[in-house]
């Protein structure tokens, strides 16, 4: 299952410039089908690809993002419908059950995420999403995971089914969800959302310039509110940050507002907020090295930020940007 990254205006600008989907596909070195999914916001693109798209279409990078100033309602609604459709698919296909089962069995065998990911020929981020119940698994991938765990595929299926029938997986799902929410929900984010019911369609903005290009975040000090985007409806722990740093170079204007969903799992190509302490956050462009490990990039000056497995819950995904 391909991941949704954001609703965009690529198709609109491509048509305005009189360029074909095939021309854009050739420019990026991807298939025609991939371009169709990118334009619909169903397929992930990284920042380097976005820059190349903007250059090809001769438009500012920020104009490719849907925002309050330039958004087309049908684009936003189409993307929202796709999110809802895939959420229903996830529920029906029991992805959380599968993920919880894999996590339980992996822990029983004293295996780490990276050990299973590497043995299954997957990146850490992909396997992490599988255990979180946020990604479908092909037959080939399931066989590779089974081998990595040291079980036959049918034995692994039966073991997960047995755990489910005993009621163990529901408990694991609830416990993991609660733990993930506790670790990834910034203090004050929920209260900021629920403090005034008249503001439920607004989202709180935090953050002032910190040291060395970091953003200092104090969730008891709201800066202002902005319109809540569709993908963050009913996401009570979502929040927004001022981009009060130039450590992303010229990628985004300094007036940008980053819309953050702590529950989303970050992957390569994302912009993310990495908390190194309770209040200090680094804004990173997420990359992946040759071993499948995630790391972050900042510029001015260039800096590579190593991300360990233990840091995953301290990294919050930017899901939309107001420019």
- pLDDT at site 81: 66
**185: nearest Cα among 217, 227, 215, 228:** 217
| Spatial separation of the C-alpha atoms in residues 243 and 224, rounded to whole Å | 14
Going by the DSSP 8-state scheme, the letter that residue 2 receives in this structure is P
Q: Where in the chain is the domain with CATH 1.10.260.40?
A: 10-85, 93-183
Radius of gyration of the chain (CA): 20
Q: Which of 154-158, 229-233, 298-302 has the lowest mean pLDDT?
A: 229-233
Alpha helices by DSSP H, listed for the chain, are: 10-16, 21-28, 32-40, 47-57, 73-92, 95-108, 113-119, 124-131, 139-149, 153-165, 168-184, 189-194
The contacts of residue 114 (CB under 8 Å, 6+ apart) are 124, 293, 309
Fold of 93-183: 434 Repressor (Amino-terminal Domain) (1.10.260)
- pLDDT at site 90: 53
Q: How confident is the prediction for the chain on average, in pLDDT?
A: 79
Fold of 10-85: 434 Repressor (Amino-terminal Domain) (1.10.260)
Top-confidence residue, 252 or 150 = 150
List, for residues 51-104, the tens digit of each pLDDT value. 889 889 888 776 777 654 445 556 556 656 655 665 565 555 578 888 889 988
* pLDDT surpassing 50 at residue 142: yes
* pLDDT surpassing 60 at residue 127: yes
* pLDDT surpassing 60 at residue 216: yes
Fold of 189-322: Umud Fragment, subunit A (2.10.109)
- pLDDT at site 202: 86
To which residue do tokens 């200090």 refer? 280
Q: Please report which confidence band the pLDDT of residue 164 belongs to, taking 50, 70 and 90 as the band edges.
A: confident
To which residue do tokens 């959302």 refer? 193
3-state secondary structure at position 286: strand
List, for residues 225-273, the tens digit of each pLDDT value. 988 887 787 788 899 999 998 888 777 777 789 999 988 888 888 899 9
**10: nearest Cα among 34, 120, 103:** 34
Q: Where in the chain is the domain with CATH 2.10.109.10?
A: 189-322
Going by the DSSP 8-state scheme, the letter that residue 1 receives in this structure is -
């Amino acid at each position: 299952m391909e991941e949704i990254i954001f609703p965009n205006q690529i198709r609109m600008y491509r048509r305005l410039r009189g360029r074909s989907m095939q021309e854009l596909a050739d420019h990026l070195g991807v298939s025609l089908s991939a371009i169709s999914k990118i334009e619909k916001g169903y397929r992930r693109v990284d920042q380097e690809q976005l820059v190349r798209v903007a250059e090809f279409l001769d438009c500012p990078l920020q104009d490719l993002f849907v925002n309050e100033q330039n958004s087309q309602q049908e684009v936003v609604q189409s993307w929202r419908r796709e999110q809802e459709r895939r959420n229903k698919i996830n529920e029906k296909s029991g992805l959380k059950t599968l993920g919880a089962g894999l996590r339980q069995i992996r822990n029983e065998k004293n295996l780490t995420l990276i050990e299973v990911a590497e043995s299954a020929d997957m990146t850490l981020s992909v396997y992490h999403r599988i255990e979180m119940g946020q990604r479908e698994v092909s037959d080939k991938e399931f066989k590779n995971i089974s081998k990595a765990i040291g079980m036959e595929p049918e034995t692994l299926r039966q073991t997960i089914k047995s755990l489910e029938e005993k009621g163990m997986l529901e408990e694991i799902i609830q416990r993991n969800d609660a733990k993930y929410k506790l670790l990834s929900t910034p203090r004050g984010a929920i209260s900021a959302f629920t403090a005034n019911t008249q503001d439920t369609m607004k989202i709180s903005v935090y953050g002032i310039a910190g040291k060395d290009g970091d953003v200092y975040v104090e969730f008891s000090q709201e800066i202002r509110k902005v319109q809540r985007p569709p993908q963050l409806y009913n996401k009570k722990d979502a929040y927004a940050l001022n981009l009060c740093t130039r450590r992303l170079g010229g990628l985004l204007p300094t007036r940008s507002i980053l819309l953050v969903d702590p529950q989303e799992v970050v992957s390569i190509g994302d912009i993310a907020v990495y908390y190194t302490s309770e209040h200090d956050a680094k804004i990173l462009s997420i990359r992946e090295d040759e071993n499948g490990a995630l790391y972050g990039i900042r510029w001015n000056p260039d800096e590579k930020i190593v991300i360990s497995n233990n840091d995953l819950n301290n990294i919050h995904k930017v899901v939309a940007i107001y420019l």
